[in-house]
Amino acid sequence: MPIRVHVVFIGLGLIFLVVGMAFGIWMGINKDFQFADAHAHWNLVGFVTSTLYGLIHRAYPKLADSRLSWPQCIVHVVGVLIFAPGIIYVVATDQPIFAIIGALTILAAALMFMFIYYTHDHRIAAD
Ligand code: HEM
């Protein structure tokens, strides 16, 4: 059975959640909150957004027919992996380059998802 995009989104979202929680616990133990923004965005873009993409795919199965569905998933995950560490980097070094690249990458993934949704959701009636 082929791997399905919603399974990957939700599975990766859960990994992002556990890592993000561990990061939050680390911040609490060390009373070091300088990276709270990175923790928040890791969880919100990594866990919440990925899981929502997965659940929307599950709600509208025709979206996975799009040739863009896997590229969109890959662009989003790569964006998360650049963006949240990029926020740590900008806090630590004042260099925003990775945060900017990561932000533009997750924005590109959101635009791709919007395109997939608007060009495929009408077919839900056929499900
Ligand atoms: C074991 C689970 C978690 C722990 C121990 C934890 C811990 C923390 C800590 C210590 C802070 C910094 C608070 C401060 O600056 O005063 C924080 C901030 C935050 N966390 Fe978490 N967190 C957890 C899970 C999550 C999850 C699942 C989300 C989102 C889905 C989340 C979203 C946020 C947000 C939005 C902030 C505010 C960031 C900011 O002020 O810049 N956290 N968390």
The predicted pLDDT at position 120 comes to 87
Q: How far is CA 2 from CA 5, 19, 34, 45, in A?
A: 9, 27, 42, 26
Q: How far is the CA of 111 from the centre of ligand 1 (A)?
A: 27
* 58: Cα separation from own chain's centroid: 16
Domain ranges of the chain: 5-126
This prediction's pTM:
0.92
Pocket test for ligand 1, best of 17, 30, 43, 44 (most atoms within 8 A of CB): 43
The predicted pLDDT at position 125 comes to 47
Q: What angle do CA 95, 17, 112 make, to 5 degrees?
A: 70
Q: How far is the CA of 38 from the centre of ligand 1 (A)?
A: 9
Which has the closest alpha carbon to 88: 39, 123, 121? 39
Residue nearest to atom 20 of ligand 1 (CA): 40
Amino acid letter, residue 83: F
Q: Which helix (H) or strand (E) holds 100?
A: helix 97-120
At 65-100, the pLDDT tens digits run 999 999 999 999 999 999 999 999 999 999 999 999
Residue the block writes with tokens 């025709």: 62
CA distance 116 to 64: 9
User: Residues with Cβ within 6 A of ligand 1?
Assistant: 17, 20-21, 24-25, 27-28, 33, 36-37, 39-40, 43-44, 47-48
CA distance 66 to 26: 40
In tens digits, the chain (127 residues) has pLDDT values of 789 999 999 999 999 999 999 999 999 999 999 999 999 999 999 999 999 999 999 999 999 999 999 999 999 999 999 999 999 999 999 999 999 999 999 999 999 999 999 998 655 544 4
Number of C-beta neighbours around residue 40 at 10 A: 14
